[in-house]
Amino acid sequence: MRAYIAARLATAILVVLGVSAVSFFLTFLTGDPAEIMLPPGATAAQITKFRAEWGFDDPLPVQYWRFLHRAVQGDFGISLRHGQSSLPLIAARLPATLQLTVTAMLLAIALAVPLGVLAATHRGGKIDLLAMGVALFGQSVPNFWLAIMMILLFAVSWGVLPTSGRGGWAHVVMPATAIAINLTALLTRLVRTAVIEVLAEDYVRTARGKGLRELFVLGRHAVPNALIPLVTVIGLQFGYILGGAVVIETIFTWPGVGLFTIQAILNRDYPVVQASVFILATAVVLINLAVDLVYVWLDPRIRVA
């Protein structure tokens, strides 16, 4: 158990280091960062001065070490566009993104679990067909298109929901739904399969044999066990949810990290891009670490393995 946690932690640290390397080398993809960061008409003297000032004339390993050293202290450099330290700029937008992604996740779970369980218990019936239809639609629809269609319907035609920005909970409804749709589809399918499998287990037959009511068998024995694997999936999906948020935030001008990062990418604001890629990827690593540890606690069989 302890060895497992230690190994898992070591992996997480390794991955975070890798994440830092990728965020660092992003800047060097195009060759010379100085030429890109400076305005087009910069003279050779200006470029040399800029390089020396920012340390771009040092060997790459030295630069990477410096990047790492500063990153650990939360220093990702000054935003070229905003003239402020990039980390606080991103941190200020994190709550908005969290509100959106967490709502989307809860929404997906709230929809997918009942739908999946009903589909499993009514296998082959109308509810099953409906659930699988929803799943197929959700798996195939481009979420940004769904977002636009929702805006057209609920905001423009009926005027019941606001089109953009962040305010009350009414503002969250459409963007969260758009982000949740793909996850809902995936989870519905997974819950359905997991419940069908668990219902075929011996202990479920025993519970039924004891004369327990079907609802009790489901609620006490079948569903909780079927949901355990879901934890891992939800953790793995967090990266996709964040990715979805990037696109959806742009459509709804939701003032989160996604919208901010897209703007930084389009403006070539490297310190912000680096910081944001690093922070979002690290968040995904930490969440997956947490999920794996929770999973061990939920399913004692893994502790041995």
Partner 1 sequence: MTGRVEQWGSASVSRTLPSFGLTRLARLARRSALATVGGVIVGLVIVAALAAPLLATTDPIDQDLTVVLKPPFWLEDGSLRHPLGTDHLGRDVYSRLIYGARISLTISALAALIGAAVGVAAGLVAGYLGGRMDAVIMRIVDLNLAFPLILLSLAVVALLGANLRNLVIVMAITTWMIYARVVRGLSLALREQEFVHAIRALGAHDARIIARHVLPNVFAPVVVIWTLEVARVILMESALSFLGLGVPPPTPTWGRMLAEGRDYLTVAGWISIFPGIAIMVTVLGINFLGDGLRDLLDPRLRGQM
Contact letters (x/-) for partner 1, 229-258, by CB under 8 A?
x---x--xx-xx-xxx-xx--x-------x
Minimum distance of partner 1 from residue 247's CB (angstroms): 5
CA distances from 255 to 201, 237, 240, 250 (A): 48, 22, 19, 9
Is 262 a binding residue for partner 1 by CB under 8 A? The answer is: yes
Q: Name which of 132 and 212 has its Cβ closer to partner 1.
A: 132
Query: Taking CB under 8 A as the rule, does residue 29 contact partner 1?
Result: yes
Instruction: Give the separation between CA 260 and CA 280, rounded to whole angstroms.
Output: 13
User: Based on CB atoms, which residue is closest to partner 1, 49 or 255?
Assistant: 255
CA angle 33, 37, 66 (to 5 degrees): 50
Interface pick for partner 1 out of 45, 215, 266, 305 (rule CB under 8 A): 266
Q: What's the Cα-to-Cα distance from 264 to each of 20, 139, 258, 275, rounded to whole Å?
A: 18, 30, 10, 11
Residue the block writes with tokens 């393995």: 305
Candidates 45, 30, 100; CA nearest to 248 is 100
Contact between 9 and partner 1 per CB under 8 A? no
What element of type H or E holds 268? none
Choice from 134, 207, 218, 284 touching partner 1 (CB under 8 A): 284
Nearer to partner 1, 78 or 233 (CB): 233
183 binds partner 1 (CB under 8 A): yes
Contact between 193 and partner 1 per CB under 8 A: yes
Distance (Å, rounded) from C-alpha 244 to C-alpha 77?
27
Residue closer to partner 1 by CB (options 103, 237) is 237
DSSP 166: -
CA distance 279 to 91: 9
**In sequence order, what E strands does the chain have?**
none
Number of residues that bind partner 1 (CB under 8 A): 60
CA distance 63 to 68: 9
Q: Are 290 and 282 in contact (CB under 8 A)?
A: no
Site map 82..121 versus partner 1, x via CB under 8 A: ----------------------------------------
Q: Which stretch binds partner 1 (CB under 8 A): 41-49, 53-61, 180-188, 296-304?
A: 180-188
Rounded Cα–Cα distance for residues 200 and 17 (Å): 44
Give SS3 for 146.
helix
Stretch that binds partner 1, among 55-63, 69-77, 189-197, 206-214 (CB under 8 A): 189-197
Q: What amino acid occupies position 205?
A: R
Between 162 and 258, CB nearer to partner 1: 258
If binding is defined by CB under 8 A, does position 133 make contact with partner 1? no
Assess 261 for contact with partner 1 (CB under 8 A).
yes
Q: Which tokens in the block code for residue 262?
A: 């897209």
Considering only residues 46 to 75 of the shown chain, the ones binding partner 1 according to CB under 8 A are: none
Q: What is the CA radius of gyration of the chain?
A: 24
Among residues 119, 172, 178, 186, which is the contact residue for partner 1, using CB under 8 A?
186
- Which residues in this chain contact partner 1 in the complex, by CB under 8 A? 11, 14-15, 18-19, 22, 26, 29-30, 136-137, 139-145, 148-149, 151-152, 156, 182-183, 185-186, 189-190, 192-194, 196-197, 229, 233, 236-237, 239-240, 242-244, 246-247, 250, 258, 261-262, 265-266, 268, 273, 276-277, 280-281, 284-285, 288
